[in-house]
Structure 1
C-alpha cells in the first residue's frame, strides 16, 4: 500500500512516555523484579558454596607454597563491601560498582597463582570460578552487559591457564576447561532470563501506558499540542497587551504586523491539524513499540469515532502485530493504518473503512488473539501477500454511542479470520 502524499504532522515523544519506557528496564523494586533478583542470588549462593566445599576437599592435596585461602579471603572482602553498601544506600554508586568489579582481579589472580601447574594433581581454581557466580545477582540488579563481559574474561583466563598445561596434564585439562565454563555459563543463563524478563515488563508497561488514550474525546489534544497551544496563547496575549497598553501603536508597525500574521497562521494550522490528532495518533506516538513501526493515515480523524471497546481492540491488535519478531527475518514488522470514510444513507450508523497493511510477518505467524482483537473493531477480511497481508475492516458506530461509551452494535463479528 502506497504512502499518502498528504503532509504528515511530525510528533515528538512526550517526556512522560520516555521516562516510563526507561523505568521499564529497572525492575529491582517492582514488577516482580525483587523475586527474580532474590532467586538469582540464592542460585549464586549455592554455586559459591559448592566451589568452597570443593576448595575444602582439595586443600590437603596442595603442595607447600601458596594456598587457595588468600583468594577466598579477597573474594569475601569484595562481596562483603558490596553487600554492606547495598543495604546501607539501597543503590550502588557507579564509582563503587566499578571499584568492586576491578576488585575481583585480586581473588582471580591469587587463585590462578596458587593453582598454576597443578591440574595433574586434580587441583583447579575455585575462588576465581566463584567470582563469576558473584556477578550473577549483579547482572539481575545493574544490567547484564558489564557483568557478562567480566565473567567472560574470567572464564577465558581460567581456560588459558588450563590449556597451557596440556603438555604436562594431558586429558586432565578437560577438568580445568569445565571449571572455566562454570565461571561464565550460569551468568549467561541469568543474562538471558533477566533480559527476557525486562523485555516482557517493558512491553506490558508500554501497553498499559498507551491504553490511557482510548478514553479521550474524538479530537484529542496531545502533550506536544498542549505545549504549542500554551505558547501560542502566551504570545497572543503578550501582543494584545502591548497594543492595549499603548506600547505598540495602531496601525501596527511592520514587525508587529508580521508577528500577528504569524500567530494567526500558526493558530489556523493548529486548529486544522487538531482534527486528525485523534487518540490513535497519540497512542502510536507515545508507545515505545508502535512509534516508528506504525504509521497512521487518517485525514479526517475517523478513528476518533470508535467506541472505547473498539479502540481497545484496535490498540491491542496493533500492539500484537508489532510484537511479532520472526526468527531470521531481515526486515522489521511495519504496519500502515489508513481510515476512509464511507457513506451509507440506508444505515443509521456512522460507517468508515479501516485498512491495516502489515509487512514483514506472515499471516500464519500472527498471534490468534490478534484476530479476536480486530473482530471487536468490526467485520474484517484478510488479503494475503508474499511479504505480509492486508486487513480490511468495516467499522460501524451508532450515532447514539459516544467515544468511550458502550460498544457499537454488530461490531464484534468477524469474517476471514
Structure 2
C-alpha cells in the first residue's frame, strides 16, 4: 500500500487541527457550532464565524463535554463542513486518516468514530492516537539524539494531562489528569470581569479573546500583587479596548499613543496574572486537586527511578494554555523546588504549541511501518470495530 494521501486530524475539544501530510501546517478550525443574537436564523459552523459581523452574545454548541466526545450530531456537522469541497478541499474518500483522542477514551466513542470514518467517509485506513503521543514523536524527531523518553504536559481545553513516555511507550499508571483547562480559565475570567467591571457572562467569545491577549503567568505572585496595587510606572496595569463589531472587530490592548473616542474600555490589574494561577492552584476555584508541578512529581514517582533524569531533561508543554507568557519560567521554578538539586531539568514550550501534535502526526504518517499499525478498509469490512484491537499492540 502506498501512502499517497494521509489526513491528520487533531480533534481537540476547542479547535480541530486538520491538514494533509503534504501540507506545511494545519488549518485550525473551531470545533463547534455557534449561533449569534444578530443572525438567529443561521448557525455558524467552525471557521464560518469569520463571516459573522457581530460576534456578541454567541451561543456555543460543543461536541465535547468534560473532554470527551458526546454530541455526535454536532461533531458530524463540523466534520462535514471541514471535509466539504467548498471548505478545505480534502476528500476523505480512499484517504488514510490519523485522528487524535483523549487518554482513557471510552470504547463506545472509539467504536463510533471508526464507524463514521469507514462507513460515512469511506476512508482507506484509520488509526487513532493521543495528541500527547504525536507530540512525543515530533519532539523526538526534533532532537539530534532522537530521544524517545519525555514527559508531555498537554494543557488542553478541558483538562491538563501529564503523560510520561519511556522509549516511545507511555506509562499507563503514571498518566495524571488535572480538571483544569482553557474552558475553566475563561469561565472564571468571565465571572471576575462581570463582578468587577461589566456583565460579560454571555460573552464567552469576547472574554476568551481578552484572556488570550492580557493574561500572563506570574513568576512571583506576591511581588506582582504588590505591583498591581501601586501607582505610577511600575504598576501592573492594562487597558483593553472592547470590540463594538462596527469600528473595532476584535478587542486589543490600548497603547499610550492610541486615541480613544467612543470605544468602551476595561482596565485590568491583578486579573492579568491571577486567572492563569488556577493552573498551579486549582483549589482557588474549588477544584480539590494539586497544581501542575506537584502532579508532575506524582507522575514521576510512578516511573522507575533510573528514568527520572532523562524524563526531567525532556519536558514538553503543548496546548493553548502553554501560550501564556511566563509559563516556562514559572513551571521551571515550581518543579525545581520539588526535585533534588542533582537532577537535571529542562522544559520546552514550542513556538506553536497548538499545532505541535499535528506536526507529529505528519511525521508519523511517513514511518516505514505506518500501515502495519493502521486498520485498513479490508480489515474493517472483515472484522468491524474489533479490528481496532491491533492498536493495543503499538501503544
Where is the strand percentage greater, Structure 1 or Structure 2? 2
Bigger RCO (CA 8 Å, 6+ sep): 2
Shorter-chain TM band: under 0.3
User: So what's the TM-score if we normalise by structure 1?
Assistant: 0.24
Q: Comparing both structures, which one devotes a greater share of its residues to helix? A: 1
Which protein has the larger Cα radius of gyration, Structure 1 or Structure 2?
1
